[in-house]
Each structure stands twice: as structure tokens, then as C-alpha cells.
Amino acid sequence: MAASDSDDSLYPIAVLIDELRNEDVQLRLNSIKKLSTIALALGVERTRSELIPFLTDTIYDEDEVLLALAEQLGNFTPLVGGQEHVHCLLPPLESLATVEETVVRDKAVESLRKIAADHSTADLEAHFVPLVKRLASGDWFTSRTSACGLFSVPYPRVSSQVKAELRTHFRNLCGDDTPMVRRAAAGKMGEFAKVLELEYLKSDLIPLWTNLASDEQVQNDSVRLLAVEACVSIASILPREDLESLVMPTLKNAAEDKSWRVRYMVADKFTELQVAVGPEITKSDLAPAFQGLLKDCEAEVRAAAANKVKEFCENLPADVRETTIMTNILPCVKWSFFLQELVTDANQHVKSALASVIMGLSPILGKDNTVEHLLPLFLIMLKDECPEVRLNIISNLDCVNRVIGITQLSQSLLPAIVELAEDTKWRVRLAIIEYMPLLAGQLGQDFFDEKLNNLCMAWLVDHVYAIREAATNNLKKLVEKFGSEWATSKIVPKVVAMAQDPNYLHRMTTLFCVNVLAEVCGVEVTVSVFLPVVLKLASDAVPNVRFNVAKTLQKIGGLFDAETVNSQLKPCLDKLKTDQDFDVKYYASEAILVLTEAA
């Protein structure tokens, strides 16, 4: 090995080479991640003349290492001597842009794009563009796929002749024989459109785009999908008169494509498209198309459209907003929601998507319309059999609250909350817990004590850990809201009582509650109520409880004065340190360490 301790300056490169050959991937990864350090130590000249060629020539490794390398090289410009020398980074990145693994290639392309900006115009034409051309005409599809992402960065800065060449290459990639390459080209079309001159956009790119959007491979909808994405960029650049003739026919076709995936994509991008084409076309063309998507025969498409209802309505031009919503959109929403009652194959996704956005219409439509048209819908949704629907209504309560207050809803709200709180799916229970503090704030303390407090306590003994954990955090937020006095009278007694529970998991819950409550309840309560309970649990029969005592003491130790720590916490921890259980000992000594350091 070349390592020679006599010459300190050679030290790092020797380490690198050694580590690069280590059998352990992790170690190889480490050395690659230290690459910038090594380059720094080598100096710019030797980095250029030795390190970079070495990397270019000898690296063949696991994709993980290559990924790290590709990332590092993107930040190497200063390490090789800045703008003037940055092109020496191109060869290794070019190799990386041809490997099989997509993640590595994408990262290499990202780094290439980054360093393209560091190139002078002359170097861009002399080094960078030739690289793009090489990749674009590579044998294996991977290099051509990578090339697609490299057009938009150099294009604005090169001469018109080179520009013409780049356009030709891009056109070839759009018509590539391999669908993977066509997909990549379609995916990058939008960003390329943004840097293209308007005349070429119209003469070159739009025909290409129209072609991709009607990709001849009839079943192969994956290319057409991406063309929809490109549509957003293209539409935002073109002047209005061109839009109608060049873009809208294709877009309308896409909205009625026979593949649901393409229609889904249109629905998914709908609000972006809406912004791109502007208010006039929105009124004339998009609103009808949107209605179509809301009533699509495929549930996936309806759900995607449903998710956009609120934003679409917000973006409607002010003069027609209210009428469009009332006469066009709302009927579709209702149709889409109640359709489910009619067909046997109920689709919950559509319903819950609608439930999650419909509350957002309330601020747009104002108080009267909300009360008259939306409120009945909310009430029906609150009683829906699908828990996600109810949950989505509850989680968006604040929108409605601002417009009409929630008193009108509270009658229906309570049964819905209670039912969700006891839902058999723990994720649903978890979600409703997260809205408790918000609900508590809006419904007020009395209502809470009377109706919801018991629920909150019941969650503490749920049989799913995630729920118990969320329940303890919920208590903390409630105490923050209602104050420590409320805490002492309403919840502390119950928390403390759980320390006597025969189930060790519940005894641990007491400890978890103390962890989060100690601070918000204040030192007084902690010393007089919590601490004795915690200390008593230190002699619990179950080791899990005992080491959680150690953890709790570590956590709350900072609240106490030195005397309490020394007279009560330390002795207890010392005892736990001699416990027969390995984990208990570990956490006890860790706690002692932390407490000593703090003191």
C-alpha cells in the first residue's frame, strides 16, 4: 500500500484508497463521505490531477457508495479550483450518469446540473454540451435517460448554433425507441419549455408534446401521463391566443382519455392547470372538464378531483365564483357523495376526499350559504359509516368555526367524537386524539369536563401503545390549555391511581404521564404528588417499570433543587444501579450521569 507515514501530506489519500477497498461497505461509504476533507487536504491541484482521475478510473462499487460519490462531486467546484477547472468533474459524473440504478443516476444528473452553473460559457460549449450529446446518443438506455435532464440548464447560455443541436437531440430523445427514455423526455419537457424561445417552443416542442400526449402505443399510458405534467409548464408560458389552438385540444383529450391513469393525472394537476391557463379558459373550458372528472366512472379519478374542489373554487374568477360553485360544483359534489349510497361498491376514498375539502368551501361561500347548503351536508357526513369521513369533517372544523361557529354542529359532533374515540382501528383513534386539544379549546372547559374528559382518560389504558403515548401527550396539551389547577383536580388523581394498576403497562403509563406533565404542572405538584409515586415504582416487580423509573427521574431531575436530588433521586438510582436486570442498571447509571452533569 502506498501509505507512508513519513510524508504526512500523502496520508489522507492513502487512507482513502485503503478504505475504498475495505470489505465493509459502511467503511467505504465513510471514506467517500469524507471525500471533501481529503480533497481539501490535498489541495486543488492534486485533487484535479490525482484524486479525480483516480475516482473516475477505479470506482466500481455498490450503488450506495456511488450515490454518495455522485452527491459529493456536485459540491466539488471550489475543491478543484473553481470555475476555470470545474470541467474536470465531468468525466466521473458522466460515468455515474450511465449506471443502472436510478437513484445514482438521478443524483449524478442533479450534480451535473449544479456544476453546469459553475461553468463559463466557453467551457459549457467545449465540455458540458459534448457530454450531453454523448449521453443522449449512448447505447444503453440509462445514459439517454440521464441526458434528458441535462438540456434545460446549459440551453439559455449557449450560442444559437449549439442551441439548434440541443433541440435536435431532445427531439430524438422524445421519439426514442425505448419507452423509459420517452418517459424521461416527457418528464423533462416542462422545464425545457421554460427556457426555450417562444418561436421554437411553438415550432419544435409543442408538436413533440402533442405527439407524446397521444403516444401511439395505445396501451402505454405512462408517457401520456407525463405529458399532462408538462402541460402545466407549457400552458403557463404561452400567450392566451396560442393556448386555445395549441394546448387546449390536447388537454381536453387528456381529460377524456380512455385510460383512467391519464384522467387521474389531469384531476391531480387540475389546480395547477387552472392557474396556468388563466381565468377566461377556466370559465369556458376547465369548469366543465372538472365537473366531468368529479363524475368520472372511476373512483380513483373522482377522489383525485374531489381533493381539488376547495382549491379549484378558491381560484375561480371572483365574478363567477359563487354561481359556479352553487350551480355546477356543489351538485357534482353531492352527486359524487351520494352516488355511493346507490351502488353496492361503496368507495370510501372519494367520500373521505370530499369530506376533507368541503369544509373549506364554507369561507368562500359565506355564512348564509354555509348554513343553508353546506351544513346539512356536514351533518350527514358526521353520521357517515366510514370513520375517515367523520374524521375529515372534524379535523377541518376550524374552517367552519370561523364562519358560523360550531354551536350549530356540537349536537352532532359529540356522538361522532365518541364513536371515533372507540373505533376499532387504532389509527382512527389516534387521529381523533390529535384533534382533542383543538376541540377542547373550541367547545370550552365545561363541555369538555362533562363530555370528553372520560374519553381522554380511557385512552391512557388503550391496548395499543401508540394510543397510550398520544394520550399522554394530549394530557400535556390540555393542561397547557386549562392550567395546572384544573390538572390537579381533574387528571392528576387518575394518573396517580394507575400506578396501583395490576397491569404493568398501565403502571408504565403513569410514568409516561409524569414525564410530560411534570413541567406543565409545576415543581410543587411534582415534588408533592408525582415524585413519591415514581420512587415507589422503583421497587416494582417488572424490570420494564423499574428502568422506566430511571428514565423518568433522568427526565424530570432538572426540576428539583440539589437537596431533593441528593436526598431522594440519587439513593433511588443508586439502588437501581445494583439491580439484577441489565437494562435497569444501564438506564440507572445513565440517569446518574446526566443528573451529576447537570449539578
Partner 1 sequence: MSAATGPVTDKIDPFSKKQSVKKPKQKRSQASSRYKAKGGTELVPLPQLKDAPPAEQHELFIKKLQQCSVVFDFMDSVSDLKGKEIKRASLNELVDYITAGRGVLTEQVYPEVVKMIASNIFRTLPPSENTEFDPEEDDPTLEASWPHLQIVYEFFLRFLESPDFQPSIAKKYIDQKFVLQLLELFDSEDPRERDFLKTVLHRIYGKFLGLRAFIRKQINHIFLKFIYETEHFNGVGELLEILGSIINGFALPLKAEHKQFLIKVLIPLHKAKSLSLYHAQLAYCVVQFLEKDATLTEPVVRGLLKFWPKTCSQKEVMFLGEIEEILDVIEPSQFVRIQEPLFKQISKCVSSPHFQVAERALYFWNNEYVMSLIEENSNVIMPIMFPNLYRISKEHWNQTIVALVYNVLKTFMEMNSKLFDELTANYKAERQKERKKEKEREELWKKLDGLEINATVNNKEVKSVPPTSTNTPVAGGSPAVGTRYAPYSPTAHRLMAK
Q: How far is the CB of 496 from partner 1 (least distance, A)?
A: 20
Contact with partner 1 (CB under 8 A) among 81, 158, 214, 260: 260
Contact with partner 1 (CB under 8 A) among 160, 239, 502, 597: 502
Looking at residue 279, what DSSP letter applies?
H
For the chain, how far is it from start to end, CA to CA, in angstroms?
50
Q: Residue 27 CB: number of other CB atoms within 10 A?
A: 14
15 binds partner 1 (CB under 8 A): yes
Contacts to partner 1 from residues 187-206, by CB under 8 A: none
Please, which residue, 338 or 582, has the CB nearer to partner 1? 582
Q: Are the C-beta atoms of residues 487 and 517 closer than 8 Å to each other? A: yes
Contact with partner 1 (CB under 8 A) among 163, 169, 183, 390: 183
Q: Are the C-beta atoms of residues 20 and 31 closer than 8 Å to each other? A: yes
Contacts to partner 1 from residues 461-490, by CB under 8 A: 463-464
The residues, ordered by sequence, that sit 6+ positions from 168 with a Cβ below 8 Å of its Cβ are none
385 binds partner 1 (CB under 8 A): no
Please, which residue, 298 or 311, has the CB nearer to partner 1? 298
Q: Residue 244 CB: number of other CB atoms within 10 A?
A: 15
Measured CA to CA, the distance from residue 555 to residue 485 in angstroms comes to 23
Contacts to partner 1 from residues 93-122, by CB under 8 A: 95-96, 98-102
587 binds partner 1 (CB under 8 A): no
Site string for partner 1, 45-64 (x = CB under 8 A): xx---x--xx--xxxx-x--
Query: Comparing C-alpha atoms, which of 326, 351, 349, 329 is closest to residue 339?
Result: 351
Q: Which of these ranges, 272-280, 406-414, 503-511, 565-573, lies near partner 1 under the rule CB under 8 A?
A: 503-511
Q: How far is the CB of 487 from partner 1 (least distance, A)?
A: 27
Q: How far is the CB of 217 from partner 1 (least distance, A)?
A: 6
541 binds partner 1 (CB under 8 A): yes
505 binds partner 1 (CB under 8 A): yes
The residues, ordered by sequence, that sit 6+ positions from 180 with a Cβ below 8 Å of its Cβ are 141, 145
8 binds partner 1 (CB under 8 A): yes
Please, which residue, 220 or 315, has the CB nearer to partner 1? 220
Q: How far is the CB of 349 from partner 1 (least distance, A)?
A: 9
Residue whose grid cell is 422545464: 191
What DSSP element (H or E) covers 209? helix 206-213
431 binds partner 1 (CB under 8 A): no
Residue whose grid cell is 397521444: 214
345 binds partner 1 (CB under 8 A): yes
**Cell numbers standing for residue 39:** 480533497
Contacts to partner 1 from residues 433-452, by CB under 8 A: none
30 binds partner 1 (CB under 8 A): yes
Contact with partner 1 (CB under 8 A) among 110, 141, 291, 451: 141
Q: How far is the CB of 149 from partner 1 (least distance, A)?
A: 15
386 binds partner 1 (CB under 8 A): no
Measured CA to CA, the distance from residue 401 to residue 276 in angstroms comes to 32
Q: How far is the CB of 219 from partner 1 (least distance, A)?
A: 4
What DSSP element (H or E) covers 578? none
Contact with partner 1 (CB under 8 A) among 7, 199, 241, 563: 7
Please, which residue, 157 or 390, has the CB nearer to partner 1? 390
Q: Are the C-beta atoms of residues 69 and 30 closer than 8 Å to each other? A: no
172 CB burial (10 A radius; 0-12, 13-18, 19+): middle
Please, which residue, 290 or 547, has the CB nearer to partner 1? 547
Please, which residue, 412 or 552, has the CB nearer to partner 1? 552
**Cell numbers standing for residue 340:** 355511493
Please, which residue, 241 or 258, has the CB nearer to partner 1? 258
Please, which residue, 56 or 328, has the CB nearer to partner 1? 56
214 binds partner 1 (CB under 8 A): no
Amino acid in position 79 = L
259 binds partner 1 (CB under 8 A): yes
Q: How far is the CB of 377 from partner 1 (least distance, A)?
A: 26
Q: Are the C-beta atoms of residues 364 and 314 closer than 8 Å to each other? A: yes
Measured CA to CA, the distance from residue 175 to residue 182 in angstroms comes to 6
Q: How far is the CB of 224 from partner 1 (least distance, A)?
A: 11
Measured CA to CA, the distance from residue 160 to residue 152 in angstroms comes to 14
Q: How far is the CB of 312 from partner 1 (least distance, A)?
A: 22
298 binds partner 1 (CB under 8 A): yes
75 binds partner 1 (CB under 8 A): no
Q: Are the C-beta atoms of residues 102 and 128 closer than 8 Å to each other? A: no
Measured CA to CA, the distance from residue 17 to residue 28 in angstroms comes to 9
Residue/partner pairs of 41-49 with CB below 8 Å, 24 or more apart: 41/9, 41/11, 41/12, 42/12, 42/13, 44/79, 44/80, 44/81, 44/85, 45/81, 47/76, 47/79, 47/80, 47/81, 48/80, 48/81, 48/85, 48/88
Amino acid in position 531 = L
Please, which residue, 11 or 200, has the CB nearer to partner 1? 11
Q: How far is the CB of 303 from partner 1 (least distance, A)?
A: 10
**Cell numbers standing for residue 158:** 449557449
Q: Which of these ranges, 29-37, 308-316, 402-410, 514-522, lies near partner 1 under the rule CB under 8 A?
A: 29-37
524 binds partner 1 (CB under 8 A): no
Q: What's phi and psi for 195, nearest 5 deg? A: -100, -5
Q: Which of these ranges, 108-116, 178-186, 314-322, 395-403, lies near partner 1 under the rule CB under 8 A?
A: 178-186
Measured CA to CA, the distance from residue 87 to residue 124 in angstroms comes to 8
Measured CA to CA, the distance from residue 194 to residue 189 in angstroms comes to 9
Q: Are the C-beta atoms of residues 433 and 467 closer than 8 Å to each other? A: yes
Q: Which of these ranges, 146-154, 354-362, 395-403, 580-588, lies near partner 1 under the rule CB under 8 A?
A: 580-588
Contact with partner 1 (CB under 8 A) among 191, 486, 504, 568: 504
Query: Comparing C-alpha atoms, which of 122, 174, 177, 119 is closest to residue 148?
Result: 174
342 binds partner 1 (CB under 8 A): no
The residues, ordered by sequence, that sit 6+ positions from 121 with a Cβ below 8 Å of its Cβ are 157, 158
Contact with partner 1 (CB under 8 A) among 240, 367, 402, 425: 425
Contact with partner 1 (CB under 8 A) among 219, 385, 561, 578: 219
